Structure 1
């Protein structure tokens, strides 16, 4: 789906206001008298230094015989277009995707990572935890899904898996001794018999 075409420059509501005045041979002073508002307010709207409020939209609609929605949407669309041109930054979307895919707040509470305000820093934290770049994570998840017959692996599960791997690497294990396995297995089974003891396993 192609992106909708946008005008090269957003149309200021003040320009439309001036056209309406010219079509009626009204001055800004005339419109101010009709609206019962200061002439300065009309001048500021015409020059774009003052925004058209919902109340002003209603007043202009009554003065010109149009709809208040026309003036309100004209102002809203103009300001939105200006904001998009000034802030064409994907940082919010990138942070939103990370928060949507992973339980970041819980991970931060456990001390696994820091919740940086910078999207770049947050992605670096997540990449360090997952062991792959954020952009490569979908490929890794897809491979893990294809290699198992269980339920599909989510990003959150991948994070827990990577954390478990990191903790495992920090552990030191003794030499393998099959004689120790049998009593250990019995101990684990005993702990698994009662719900309150499962946390000790």
Structure 2
């Protein structure tokens, strides 16, 4: 692959996609046009917003998933994924290249958000989220440094599987106590707590 192929994902190269050319040494040819590749990363939202900054009727019809402030281009998938990070339940290892266009500050924000909400893994605080950096690599580092990526993932999986087994064993020994051993009847603990709850005059306040 030519140098443009390797660096095509970097931000400074995005504007050059329209004139993307493949190295002569590479005889293959993509049927997907360079324009289609551009649209997958930068969707146009050329309509002007309303005077108050909200989305116009045209924008809501043509670009229903576009934030009003993201003009003239937007990419909804990354925003949706970022918003969902706090609910992520599985353990996570983030791999970043040392020349990533995602700054260290943004990386730390991603790590700090991951798994922290109700239903999430517990995040960094519980040791469920971590990151590592692949040296001498760019945005396409899984293709540039496959061996290094595999080594980091294998090392992480070894520790993660051990922790997962410990959690499974703990869950087997400490059920949620809602049922008896046969899992068919309410446990005495459940009945006791339900009676105690029925005596409360006020319900506990929920933090929203």
Q: How high is the TM-score relative to the length of structure 2?
A: 0.23
Q: How high is the TM-score relative to the length of structure 1?
A: 0.24
Q: Which has the higher relative contact order, 1 or 2, with Cα contacts under 8 A spaced 6 or more apart?
A: 2
Which structure features the higher share of helix residues? 1
